[in-house]
Amino acid sequence: MADLSVELGGLHLDYPWMNASGIFSTLPLLEKLCEYKTGAVVTKTITKEERTGHETPVFAESGCYCLNAVGFSCPGMYETGEELCDFYPMERPLIVSVASLTDENEVKEIIEGLEGSFDAIELNVSCPNVYKKIIGQDAKLTEKHTKAARGATKKPLIVKLTPNVTDIGEIARAAEYSGADIISGINTLRGMAIDVYAKRPVLTNRFGGVSGPAIKPVGIGCIYQIYEAVDIPIIGGGGICNAMDVAEYMMAGAGAVFIGTRFYGMPMERIGNFLEKLGNDLCRIMEETGAEKIEDMVGVAHEL
């Protein structure tokens, strides 16, 4: 197998992929995932206080998308911080996802509360805060939260963006300018499903986040735009199901990718086999397209 390792904003990854935040909700599961061919593992988003999430049903799916409203159920920083001390370090780089539901001071508090039990922080700016504002929809707020996170750690800082914006390049630039080492995206798209016979939205929360294969073209478009806007590396994802999808994200500009919905509910042993095949298939695509290393693929779709 060709060398699939990448250096990305201060992180060394043996494989150019990782799980998406929220797909494995416990640290023992992430520890198990480390046994397989993954470049890094990512926690579910941690907030300061524990949040229980929305009333069920919180999930709807079709063959090509998932709609979920579980994203706002988050473990609090106190409990998770203690647990992280027991599990850190892991066999692969551990990326801890954090989000503030109030202001930027909370970002600092959460990161400092984790006491360095992580290899990188992923700042999730896609949640609405108590003022009902989504940080990542506002360049100024993104700047404030990124600066606060930057001030709280010297380790690599990833800022994960929402696609629910007019110009994702502008938000990516604000994060880069404020100290992000890596941009990640995309988080879920806002959406709704209607139960025709009940004549009302399927989810109790009415709206949810759309993920899975249906959002891949949106993700590819966002990564393409971010690549043209910033000079820092990108972790891309949204709807990835196979090595061809990974190659597409890389050619749009991603130096590494994340995989979410494809793994949801998949038994761990199958994930091991999936990752093995992903590596082999990506090597074949690299050979067919004349790439010797991952770097040779990144952003080539811009060279028109």
Which residue, judged by CB position, is nearest to ligand FMN in the bound state?
22
Both tokens of 151, joined, read 């001030």
CB 122, min distance to ligand FMN, A: 7
116-143: string of b/e by CB count within 10 Å (b at 16+)?
ebbbbbbbbbbbebeeeebbbbbbebbb
**Positions in the binding site for ligand FMN (CB under 6 A):** 20-22, 44-45, 66, 68, 70-71, 97, 124, 126, 160, 187-188, 211-212, 215, 237-240, 259-261, 264
Closer of 191 and 201 to ligand FMN (Cβ) = 191
| Nearest approach, Cβ of residue 293 and ligand FMN (Å) | 24
CB of 64 or CB of 287, closer to ligand FMN: 64
The total of other beta-carbon atoms located within 10 Å of residue 40's CB is 28
The least CB distance from residue 103 to ligand FMN, in Å, is: 19
CB of 139 to ligand FMN, least distance (A): 19
Residue 292 Cβ vs ligand FMN, minimum distance, rounded to whole Å: 27
| Under 8 Å between Cβ of 232 and 182 | yes
127 is catalytic: yes
Q: Structure tokens of 279?
A: 């590596």
The sign one gets for the Cα dihedral 1, 286, 39, 61 is negative
Residue of 195, 243, 260, 249 whose CA lies nearest to 226: 249
Of 38 and 45, the one with the shorter C-beta distance to ligand FMN is 45
Catalytic one of 66, 74, 127, 222: 127
d(CA 198, CA 207): 16
CA distance 179 to 157: 8
CB atoms < 10 A from the CB of 93, how many? 23
| Nearest CB to ligand FMN, comparing residues 88 and 264 | 264
Cβ of residue 197: shortest distance to ligand FMN, in angstroms? 25
136 contacts 162 by C-beta, under 8 angstroms: yes
Q: In the complex with ligand FMN, which residue's Cβ is closer, 2 or 73?
A: 73
Tell me the three state secondary structure of residue 80.
Answer: helix
Strands 194-195 and 200-201: antiparallel
Residues 198/173, Cβ–Cβ less than 8 Å: no
Contacts of 124 (CB under 8 A, 6+ apart): 21, 45, 97, 98, 99, 160, 187
Tokens of 59: 């999930």
- Residue closer to ligand FMN, measured from CB, 146 or 261: 261
Backbone angles phi, psi at 192, to 5 degrees: -150, 150
Please identify every residue annotated as catalytic.
127
